[in-house]
Amino acid sequence: MSASTPTLNLFHVYAVDKPDSQRTKHAAQHLAQNTPHFQSGVIRLGGALLPADTKSTDPDATTKLNGSFIIVQAESIDVVWGLIKKDVFYTSGEVWDLEKIFVTPVFIPLKEAKFY
């Protein structure tokens, strides 16, 4: 008997940084941890948040990163939380404000949108 393919759903992760975030210190490990998730399609899209008065095209935008957004494709919200809780931005206790991480199911009708 073959196992049935699980139904995958989309979730949005919104994680703001702590005021004294050590994002730069952990960025390389964060990207290395998540590259396989991007390659496998578990993480569909992700990036950093910016302050409201900053544009992504500002020359110094990367020095003002203050959180993360991630679109995850998974069986359940519990699977997403499991992924988040293994991320160095979470486990270090030095980047994300753990009390303010928000995960919610989302519906994305334009799944093939190209950003670049």
Residue 45 inside a domain? The answer is: yes
| Residue range 47-75: mean pLDDT, rounded | 97
The residues, ordered by sequence, that sit 6+ positions from 115 with a Cβ below 8 Å of its Cβ are: 45
Residue 10 inside a domain? The answer is: no
pLDDT at site 110: 75
C-alpha dihedral (46, 48, 53, 59), degrees to nearest 10: -110
Model pLDDT for residues 85-112, shown as the tens digit of each residue: 999 999 999 999 999 999 999 998 876 6
Residue 82 inside a domain? The answer is: yes
Instruction: List the one residue out of 96, 106, 111, 114 whose CA is nearest residue 16.
Output: 96
Helix (H, G, I), strand (E, B), or coil: what is residue 55? coil
Residue 39 inside a domain? The answer is: yes
Residue 8 inside a domain? The answer is: no
Residue 84 inside a domain? The answer is: yes
pLDDT at site 5: 81
Whole-prediction pTM value? 0.89
Model pLDDT for residues 18-57, shown as the tens digit of each residue: 999 999 999 999 999 999 999 999 999 999 999 999 999 9
Long-range contacts of 78-81 (CB under 8 A, 24+ apart): 80/11, 80/13
- CATH assignment at residue 72: 3.30.70.1060
User: Which range of residues forms the domain containing residue 76?
Assistant: 20-52+61-97
Residue 81 inside a domain? The answer is: yes
